[in-house]
Amino acid sequence: MKSLALGIVLIGLGVLGVRTDAHAAGGLADVQIIDRDTGSVLPMYRSRGEYWVAGRPGARYSIMIQNHRGERILAVTAVDGINVISGETGAWSQSGYVFSPGERYEIAGWRKSNAEIAAFNFTAADNSYAERTGRPANVGVIGVALFLERPAPVRWFDRQSRDRKSEESGYAQNRIEGDAVGGAARAAPPSLAATAPAQKLGTGHGARETSYVQDTTFDRLSSTPNELIKIRYDSYENLVAMGVVPTRPAWQRPNPFPDSPIQRYVPDPPGG
């Protein structure tokens, strides 16, 4: 079936088939979490069969997705169990972002219109958008459902009519491709919580920012995702307490020869 999705502004192209960073999840596409205030990619931990990242309370963040396919994909994205475009309780059948081959884009907030978002930020769970809208059950998780596109049916024409059609549409096709190059919008475990020492993190409804998209259609190859990526998040302290992140030993000055005796000289006698 055909499903309405949102296109994204083309802001950069990745290299097909090359992973952008070790801290990424996914096969059809790379998914990373970016701390927008520092520009750093958050380290991704693997624990109990799940991906985890540690967020800084108060920091703005984004979900970076890069398509590694040679075809368009649809990324239906939910934060804390809520669709980031429509605000509905998350479901696979809802709207998502369309990525062209090799395209990458940062989903940086709750979409308010085709020109504006409300920024994602890490905040106390009771101040999260999910809690404030009466849906706190899934706070602390980011989900990306990836769909492949159904190939367009092949249409055959006799050579004469095909050549005539090509001549008639040539100018319009060139204009569309030129606009794209110029930057126009394109289709583009619960029990662990008991061990946390502080209130868990959620995602807030932050400041308004400009972010342009346009509508497009996307015919899904399947009604269920071709890949489903789930990333859980909380504060670093809580992840340490839950055993997701191994505790670090106390800092000490590194010694290149720790098992060798310390070189000494003749000491002064008592009293100098």
| 79, 107 Cβ separation under 8 angstroms | no
Residue that wins the pLDDT comparison between 4 and 260: 260
Number of compact structural domains in the chain: 1
pLDDT tens string 102-140: 999 999 999 999 999 999 999 999 999 999 999 999 999
Q: For residue 219, is it within any domain?
A: yes
Confidence band of 180 (pLDDT split at 50, 70, 90):
very low
Q: Which helix (DSSP H) or strand (DSSP E) does residue 168 occupy?
A: helix 159-181
| 65, 89 Cβ separation under 8 angstroms | no
Encode 110-127: b = buried (16+ Cβ within 10 Å), e = exposed: bbeeeeebbbbbbbbbee
Burial class of residue 86, CB neighbours in 10 A (0-12, 13-18, 19+) = middle
Q: For residue 97, is it within any domain?
A: yes
Q: For residue 267, is it within any domain?
A: no
The residue range of the domain holding 41 is 2-241
Confidence band of 82 (pLDDT split at 50, 70, 90):
very high
Q: For residue 271, is it within any domain?
A: no
Residue that wins the pLDDT comparison between 251 and 109: 109
Encode 138-153: b = buried (16+ Cβ within 10 Å), e = exposed: bbbbbbbbbbbbeeee
Q: Is the pLDDT of residue 9 over 60?
A: no
Q: Is the pLDDT of residue 252 over 70?
A: no
Percent of the chain scoring above 90 in pLDDT: 58
Q: Is the pLDDT of residue 16 over 50?
A: no
Nearest residue to 27 via CA among 144, 186, 187, 151: 144
